[in-house]
Structure 1
Amino acid sequence: MVCVGDRIDTDMQEGFLRGHGTQVLDGQLVATECGLVERVNKLVSVRPLRQRYSAALGDIVIGRVTEVAGKRWRLDIGARQEVSLQLSSVDLPGGAQRRRTAEDEIKMRTIFKEGDLLSAEVQSLHADGSIALHTRSAKYGKLTGGDLLYVPAALVKRQKHHFTNLTTMGITMILGCNGMVWLAPTHEGSSAAASSTSAPEQTAAKAPASAAEREAVSKAANAVRLLASLSMNISPASLLNVCKVCAERGVQAKDMLTASFIGAMLEEESQQRLQTSL
């Protein structure tokens, strides 16, 4: 991560191409924005930490329905472009596979209505900049009974699995590429394999969450907030590492965002990076 004016190391590269967020001064490459350094072959650029989400095909996103109109839903996913979910791009109740009719259009609010939170996948990017989503899989759909967190999208990297069952904590985690993170108690008896193929509302506990489940979700949520405050990548591994340090030091969920514990996490992270470099 670099700040404005920081020198970007290019000594190990035989020539480089200046990308977005960089400038050459006195023969050295320096950052013109605060963000993360990205290298693609010889191209060096800086991706800002604070910016609107820029969608890519196949991204897993979390959004909130803002409007039901025509044969589509409009969603807010924090993107620069307009986002829509077509009626033809969702699974009908009961998993029926057929053409959508005028009756289905009338009953659209029985599937998703204004204010509903849901997970989806970016299906296509149109020439006018608009984004089309789809939920044609059992793992996508409405999200209920959990906690939604907003973090900079740059801290969430694309990975193999964005739906994760953290069995040691008893919670289900969804990492949205648009910087929205969903945490909910895992339904008793569900497995990691099931959580990656079942709708999130089916994996969430049907009964009201117990005190232990609320404590686990709160601890995971504060771990995500702590990682975001330190501009560290957010992943299941980094979240579990924070919770591990928390357990080792006997820190409760309500004390995870205090200055003393943040300092302890910085010390732990620096030691791990030092050991890795050695």
Structure 2
Amino acid sequence: MVTFTSFPNPKDSFSYAPPKFSTEDKNDMDIDVYEDDDDGEDFDSGTKLTCPGEPITSSHAYMRGHGTFIDQETVISSVAGTIERVNKLVSVRAIRTRYNAEVGDLIVGRITEVQPRRWKVDANSRQDAVLMLSSINLPGGVQRRKLESDELQIRQFFEEGDLLVAEVQSFFADGTMSLHTRSLTYGKLRNGQLVCVPPILIRRLKSHFVSLPCNVDLILGLNGYIWVSKHINQNRRPGEEGLDAESVYSNQNEAIDAPTRMAISRVTNLIKVLASHFVPLSDVILLEAYEWAIENDVEVKDLTQTDVCEALILTVGTKG
């Protein structure tokens, strides 16, 4: 059984089409449902960028989602972003937005404040995350309860300005993220540099730890922070890949030779070029971009030139 509900036209310049709701749909959704009079028009989803005020579709077969509004039966984008379509639901995901965390996400953050038995971490979110003293690994991977002596030496683990990779463990009542580094995979970051990109460009991968054949390691944080560093020969435990337990909290960078520094700079510039053209970043895309730069013998400084950027995007960006 289908029921119709009519809404009066507003007094302003906008006019809304009368929506149709099914009695079987008991969920409260903040969307408008249109009559399915036709098969609708086809448009690209996930790759096309829209601007505020740009029409998306005028078909009654689609439902209006977040980031859109209606003007004379036409769905129009209200933000700059990418079109996302799930079945008949059309929405626009904003490009410039804060990171919305989920439990299990891998992030790269920076310590902003040391508090009693905890640290505050800048995670590129709406509010700083929290890393509890009880949620870290002790030097050497020792598993025991944290003592008062550990609290007195809290700055020997992390201090203001330190970068770290961690996992989202849970959320507090106010929505603050709770992080943990209870694995040798996580810990303090060294021997590299940080690159910041919009979080929307980081794809969810099976593993966000990427090793390139140029002696460079990448950590693709889902919060938009990417760590580019020298590859380290790790002492792995059986069945576990991670950082060396003895160097988890070391502040000393290792010696990095000139070719490795050049490779780190090349990868960093490639990430910036791809991000400036809103190309989704993944291990495959970054590897293809690096191989393209090597095959065409592109110098690090030349990656910022307009013609080189356009050639890279034409070759790699279309595969994103």
SS at match of 1:8: strand
SS at match of 1:46: strand
Report the AA paired with residue 42 of structure 1.
K
2:145 matched residue in structure 1: 99
For the 8 Å contact 1:163–1:195, the answer to whether it is kept is no
SS at match of 2:56: coil
Report how far residue 173 of structure 1 moved: 0.4
Please give the root-mean-square deviation of Cα atoms over the aligned residues, in Å. 2.7
Report how far residue 247 of structure 1 moved: 2.0
Q: 1:247 to 1:79 in 2, by over 3 A?
A: same
For the 8 Å contact 1:116–1:142, the answer to whether it is kept is yes
Instruction: Show CA shifts across 1:78-114 (max 9, x none).
Output: 1102310001111111222121111111111111111
SS at match of 2:55: coil
Identity of matched residues, %: 39
1:155 counterpart = 2:201: yes
Report the AA paired with residue 242 of structure 2.
S
Report the AA paired with residue 185 of structure 1.
K
SS at match of 2:50: coil
Matched residues in 1 for 2:316 and 2:163: separation? 34
Q: 1:70 aligns with which of 101, 104, 116?
A: 116
For the 8 Å contact 2:234–2:242, the answer to whether it is kept is no
Matched residues in 1 for 2:62 and 2:156: separation? 54
Report the AA paired with residue 135 of structure 2.
S
1:252 matched residue in structure 2: 299
1:139 counterpart = 2:177: no
Matched residues in 2 for 1:34 and 1:264: separation? 25
SS at match of 1:133: strand
Matched residues in 2 for 1:220 and 1:74: separation? 29
Q: 1:172 aligns with which of 217, 220, 232?
A: 217
Report how far residue 17 of structure 1 moved: 2.5
Matched residues in 1 for 2:303 and 2:266: separation? 8
2:45 matched residue in structure 1: none
Report how far residue 148 of structure 1 moved: 0.4
Instruction: Show CA shifts across 1:108-148 (max 9, x none).
Output: 11111111110001111222121100001101000011010
1:184 counterpart = 2:221: no
Extract structure 1 runs of 4+ deviating beyond 3 A: 189-196
Report how far residue 58 of structure 1 moved: 1.0
Tell me the TM-score normalized by structure 1. Answer: 0.88
Q: 1:132 to 1:190 in 2, by over 3 A?
A: closer
1:8 counterpart = 2:56: yes
* Structure with more helix by fraction: 1
1:199 counterpart = 2:247: no
Q: 1:117 aligns with which of 163, 178, 182?
A: 163
For the 8 Å contact 1:164–1:192, the answer to whether it is kept is no
For the 8 Å contact 2:141–2:184, the answer to whether it is kept is no
Q: Matched residue pairs, number?
A: 268
Report how far residue 9 of structure 1 moved: 4.7
For the 8 Å contact 1:172–1:195, the answer to whether it is kept is no
For the 8 Å contact 2:285–2:316, the answer to whether it is kept is no
For the 8 Å contact 1:125–1:131, the answer to whether it is kept is yes
Q: 1:21 aligns with which of 43, 52, 67?
A: 67
Which has the greater radius of gyration? 2
1:88 counterpart = 2:103: no
Q: Mind listing any 5+ residue stretches in structure 1 that lack a counterpart? A: none
Report the AA paired with residue 28 of structure 1.
T
Q: Mind listing any 5+ residue stretches in structure 2 that lack a counterpart? A: 1-48
Report how far residue 249 of structure 1 moved: 2.1
Matched residues in 1 for 2:77 and 2:283: separation? 30
